[in-house]
Amino acid sequence: MATLVSQSMRPRPHKPKLTTGKVVSAILRYGTLIIMALFFLLPFYLMVRNGLATEMDISSPQWSFFPGSLHFENITELFSDPDVPFVDGMINSTLVAVLQTTGQILVCMLAGYGLARIPYRWSNTIFYSVLLTLMIPFAVIFVPVYVIVSSFQWVNTLQGLVVPGIFSGFTTFLFRQFFLSFPHELEEAGRVDGLGYWGIFWRIVVPNSGGIISALSVITFIAAWNAFLWPLAVGQDSSAYTIQVVISAFMNSQNVNMHELFLSTAIAILPLVVIFFILQRFIVEGYKQSGLKG
Amino acid sequence: MYSEKKVEPMKSLSTPSQPEIISLRNDTKASRQRIKQQNRKAALVFWCFAGPLILGLTVFFYIPIIWAVVLSFANARATLTPTGFVGFQNYIDMFKDSAFTSSLGTFLLFALFIVPTTFAASLGMALLVNSVKKAQGFFRSVFFLPTACSYVLASAVWRMGIFSGTDSGLANTVLHLFHLNSFDWITTPTPPWFWLVLVTVRLWLQVGIYMIIFVAGLQEIPRELYEASYVDGAKKGWETFRAITFPLLRNASISVLLLNIIAAFQAFDEFYNIMFGGNLSLARPPLVYIYQVAMFNQDFGHGSAGALILTIIIIAFTLLQGRFLGFGKKD
């Protein structure tokens, strides 16, 4: 510090000096952040608290943060409740999310590369027809899409849940933008080695696009897992319910079993929380690039 | 590769002897054929790459919209094919239908609540998170974590856990602390406190994404600008925020505003699940009403007309966004 003081004639904007004002402002800032963080975590806490409590604890007018003991037997109760197709819902959601993510990334990545790199006279026209689809969100045209899908007899089927969500103009657009800035030299090297477009794409481009593939996969997976309107319209029979529809039907039924409802929300979000903590970097990147999706 | 071949016949043009011209003709014919062949090959490869997407978009985007236009001019009750055309009657019915027009009003009211609160909260949180040095990542994660939650799950927690009308609800427990009586948050029409439920659930779910957009915007502002302004005597805080931070967040701000409006326009999940049953008439956004018309009443003529009206409104918003963000402009 002594040397610092001796040089203090020069302005040093980066060296912080602790003043009372700064300490107070830091305490205020961290205080606000901590209180807000607690509010943001509260709903997650409620899922677990009510999920592992008894019905009595939940409906008790004396609200307490840690009611009684934890009732892990609620888990077996939920999994074996014949009125709530919870396990089927989790299986359906897993299938839908995995298939839709794989399909969407594959289809849109291929199309994005084709639009970015392969010279074809109608390429621009086709690109504009893809851009046009960005203006209209899927949710707004769910009635017309439902009409088409039900004319295929796809209501209550896995393909009805999965296939219409695969073709995303948005994901294609983001892949195209990425491939446009992909280094030409790498692709040229592949061409010299005798690879065609197909070989260059799979051997050179895809292995070097891990970042964007992960980012878009993660946000597609989250959107597919959390989707509600389309699964509600197409999955009309309880065997075709995704977990979101199962929980919605459960909460809107006559006699709601509270601890099972909350436990089902806690378990339904668990896969996403795990994904969130492992892949948060990619999720942030994905949202930054897409602004907002789903 | 074939730019060299193109140059060759050009050279031979300068020495116009008869046989050479013939050979030139043959040459162009051959090279034209080669180009044609190459084009055909490129087209084939192109369709291998883009074909699946284009096919899918045709079947699940373009054909449905065209079909919806057809159905919107027709009678289609409990059937997917038109039974007699009725002109603009479906559209007229929809605009005369007070439930539909009031659903557009509900959207406007909802947007009026949700857009400013989300904007202010996400900007404030971005500034706050960006201003601290320690544990920045931790706070960003916590605020971002709700984006992993679905509207259905959040609706369950809000409706059954926080804002349930019973004494055991969390919000009512807070009221009891202030010696107020329990309140039926969702089913009471006046005062319309159900809006608090609907706005807070969406705020909690989406504010993290918008915060990330603002944080990204903040990190792009060059530090030198602040340092220069301090030299000019500006005070840290409101002055630099007004003069530097906010103007330079223009693009992020417009993105957040318009994405937010477009998202609010598609509101469905939380209204359907929180206001389920009789309470839906208190707050029913357009998509929920169209869902009821098409899926409950199986009236696809009116449902399609309603969907197309929404489509046109949302295109207007998107074009507005493009205009504000300067898409298609060169500078």
Q: What is the ipTM of this complex?
A: 0.86
Judged on CB neighbours under 10 Å (0-12, 13-18, 19+), B189 is exposed
- Mark whether B32 and B119 lie in a shared domain: no
- Mark whether A232 and A114 lie in a shared domain: yes
- Mark whether A48 and A158 lie in a shared domain: no
Query: How many structural domains does chain A have?
Result: 2
- Mark whether B21 and B114 lie in a shared domain: no
- Mark whether A64 and A82 lie in a shared domain: no
B87: left (phi over 0), alpha (psi -120 to 50) or beta: left
**For residues A107 and B169, which has the higher predicted lDDT (pLDDT)?**
A107
Which of chain A's residues have a Cβ under 8 Å away from the Cβ of B129? 33
Nearest to B300 among A126, A143, A256 (CB): A143
Instruction: Establish if A8 belongs to a structural domain.
Output: no
Instruction: Establish if B32 belongs to a structural domain.
Output: yes
For residues A138 and A233, the answer to whether their CB atoms sit within 8 Å is no
Instruction: Quote the minimal CA–CA distance from B16 to chain A in Å.
Output: 34
First and final CA of chain A: distance in angstroms? 53
Residue pLDDT, tens place only, B244-262: 888 888 888 888 888 888 8
- Mark whether A31 and A113 lie in a shared domain: no
Per-residue DSSP letter, B294 = I
Instruction: Establish if A52 belongs to a structural domain.
Output: yes
Amino acid A15: pLDDT: 56
Of B2-11, B87-96, B112-121, give the range with the top mean pLDDT: B112-121
Query: How many structural domains does chain B have?
Result: 2
Chain B: residue whose CA lies nearest to A27:
B132
Per-residue DSSP letter, B234 = P
Mean pLDDT value across residues B29-55: 85
Helix (H) or strand (E) holding B129: helix B98-131
Residue pLDDT, tens place only, B114-142: 999 999 999 999 999 988 888 888 999 99
Instruction: With CB atoms and an 8 Å threshold, state whether B255 touches A258.
Output: no
Which amino acid does the sequence have at A263? L
Cα B265 from Cα B259, distance rounded (Å) = 10
| Tokens 């809006």 found at | B195
Residue pLDDT, tens place only, B212-238: 889 988 888 888 888 888 888 777 778
- Mark whether A173 and A246 lie in a shared domain: yes
Residue pLDDT, tens place only, A34-55: 999 999 999 999 999 888 888 8
Cα A20 from Cα A27, distance rounded (Å) = 11
Instruction: Establish if A5 belongs to a structural domain.
Output: no
Instruction: Establish if B83 belongs to a structural domain.
Output: no
Cα A252 from Cα B274, distance rounded (Å) = 9
- Mark whether A116 and A200 lie in a shared domain: yes
- Mark whether B166 and B226 lie in a shared domain: yes
Comparing CA positions, the residue from A153, A160, A275, A286 lying closest to residue A226 is A275
Mean pLDDT value across residues A104-127: 91
- Mark whether A93 and A55 lie in a shared domain: no
Instruction: Calculate the CA A165 to chain-centre distance.
Output: 14
CB within 8 A of B86, min separation 6: which ones?
B73, B74, B75, B301
Amino acid B71: pLDDT: 85
Last residue of a domain, one of B72, B97, B117: B72
Q: Dihedral angle at the C-alpha atoms of A181, A286, B331, A169, nearest 10 degrees?
A: 80
Q: How many CB atoms lie within 10 A of CB B141?
A: 16
Instruction: Establish if A6 belongs to a structural domain.
Output: no
Nearest to B153 among A50, A201, A247 (CB): A247
Instruction: Quote the minimal CA–CA distance from A262 to chain B in Å.
Output: 7
* pLDDT above 90 for A196: no
For residues A294 and A170, the answer to whether their CB atoms sit within 8 Å is no
Per-residue DSSP letter, A122 = T
Instruction: Quote the minimal CA–CA distance from A148 to chain B in Å.
Output: 6
Instruction: Establish if B173 belongs to a structural domain.
Output: yes
At B274, is the secondary structure helix, strand, or coil?
Answer: helix
Amino acid B174: pLDDT: 87
Mean pLDDT value across residues A271-281: 88
Instruction: Establish if A10 belongs to a structural domain.
Output: no
Cα B19 from Cα B26, distance rounded (Å) = 11
What are the beta bridge partners of residue B299? B77
Nearest to A147 among B45, B67, B135 (CB): B67
Instruction: Establish if A262 belongs to a structural domain.
Output: yes
Mean pLDDT value across residues B19-27: 51
Give the pLDDT band (50/70/90) at residue A207: very high
- Mark whether A73 and A109 lie in a shared domain: no
Comparing CA positions, the residue from A59, A56, A78, A82 lying closest to residue A69 is A56
CB within 8 A of A255, min separation 6: which ones?
none
Judged on CB neighbours under 10 Å (0-12, 13-18, 19+), B4 is exposed
Residue pLDDT, tens place only, A149-187: 988 999 999 999 999 999 999 899 999 989 998 888 888
Instruction: Establish if B52 belongs to a structural domain.
Output: yes
Please give the mean pLDDT across all residues of chain B: 83
- Mark whether A175 and A252 lie in a shared domain: yes
Amino acid A1: pLDDT: 41
What percent of chain A has a predicted confidence (pLDDT) above 90?
Answer: 44
Instruction: Establish if A57 belongs to a structural domain.
Output: yes
Instruction: Quote the minimal CA–CA distance from B1 to chain A in Å.
Output: 12
Comparing CA positions, the residue from A248, A272, A89 lying closest to residue B156 is A248
- Mark whether B217 and B292 lie in a shared domain: yes
- Mark whether A182 and A53 lie in a shared domain: no
Cα B284 from Cα B237, distance rounded (Å) = 42
Instruction: Establish if B100 belongs to a structural domain.
Output: yes
- Mark whether B126 and B259 lie in a shared domain: yes
- Mark whether B191 and B293 lie in a shared domain: yes
* CATH code, domain carrying A249: 1.10.3720.10
* CATH code, domain carrying B284: 1.10.3720.10
Judged on CB neighbours under 10 Å (0-12, 13-18, 19+), B309 is buried
Per-residue DSSP letter, B62 = I
Q: How many CB atoms lie within 10 A of CB A205?
A: 20
- Mark whether B192 and B321 lie in a shared domain: yes
Instruction: Establish if B15 belongs to a structural domain.
Output: yes
Instruction: Establish if B79 belongs to a structural domain.
Output: no
Mutation test of the interface with chain B: which of A123, A143, A250, choosing the one with the most B Cβ atoms within 10 A?
A143
**For residues B31 and A187, which has the higher predicted lDDT (pLDDT)?**
A187
Cis amide bond preceding B146, omega within 30: no
Mean pLDDT value across residues A26-32: 91
Amino acid B15: pLDDT: 40
Cα A211 from Cα A169, distance rounded (Å) = 20
- Mark whether B122 and B57 lie in a shared domain: no
Comparing CA positions, the residue from A157, A180, A294, A170 lying closest to residue A236 is A157
Amino acid A10: pLDDT: 52
Degrees (nearest 5) of the Cα angle A253, A258, A259? 135
> Dihedrals φ, ψ of A79, to 5°?
-70, -20
Last residue of a domain, one of A77, A92, A111: A77
Cα B317 from Cα B261, distance rounded (Å) = 8
Give the pLDDT band (50/70/90) at residue B7: very low
Amino acid B60: pLDDT: 93
Chain B: residue whose CA lies nearest to A12:
B227
* pLDDT above 50 for A21: yes
Nearest to A228 among B65, B150, B159 (CB): B150
Instruction: With CB atoms and an 8 Å threshold, state whether B60 touches A139.
Output: no
* pLDDT above 90 for B151: yes
Instruction: Quote the minimal CA–CA distance from A136 to chain B in Å.
Output: 6
Instruction: Quote the minimal CA–CA distance from A118 to chain B in Å.
Output: 6
Number of Cβ pairs < 8 A linking chain A and chain B: 264
Last residue of a domain, one of B72, B101, B117: B72
Q: Which domain holds residue A55?
A: 16-77
Q: Which domain holds residue B29?
A: 2-72
Give the pLDDT band (50/70/90) at residue A134: confident
* pLDDT above 90 for B150: yes
Instruction: Calculate the CA A107 to chain-centre distance.
Output: 19
> How is residue B173 written in tokens?
């427990």
Instruction: Establish if B98 belongs to a structural domain.
Output: yes
Nearest to B143 among A40, A50, A228 (CB): A40
Judged on CB neighbours under 10 Å (0-12, 13-18, 19+), A225 is buried
Nearest to B139 among A37, A229, A268 (CB): A37
Amino acid B330: pLDDT: 38
Mutation test of the interface with chain A: which of B41, B153, B317, choosing the one with the most A Cβ atoms within 10 A?
B153
- Mark whether A96 and A239 lie in a shared domain: yes
- Mark whether A224 and A198 lie in a shared domain: yes
- Mark whether B60 and B96 lie in a shared domain: no
Please give the mean pLDDT across all residues of chain A: 86
Q: How many CB atoms lie within 10 A of CB B128?
A: 18
Instruction: With CB atoms and an 8 Å threshold, state whether A121 touches B39.
Output: yes
Mean pLDDT value across residues B178-190: 84
* pLDDT above 80 for A17: no
Last residue of a domain, one of B12, B41, B72: B72
Judged on CB neighbours under 10 Å (0-12, 13-18, 19+), A95 is middle
CB within 8 A of A178, min separation 6: which ones?
A112, A209, A212
- Mark whether B281 and B170 lie in a shared domain: yes
Cα B261 from Cα B107, distance rounded (Å) = 9
Last residue of a domain, one of A57, A77, A97: A77
Amino acid A274: pLDDT: 92
Amino acid A114: pLDDT: 92
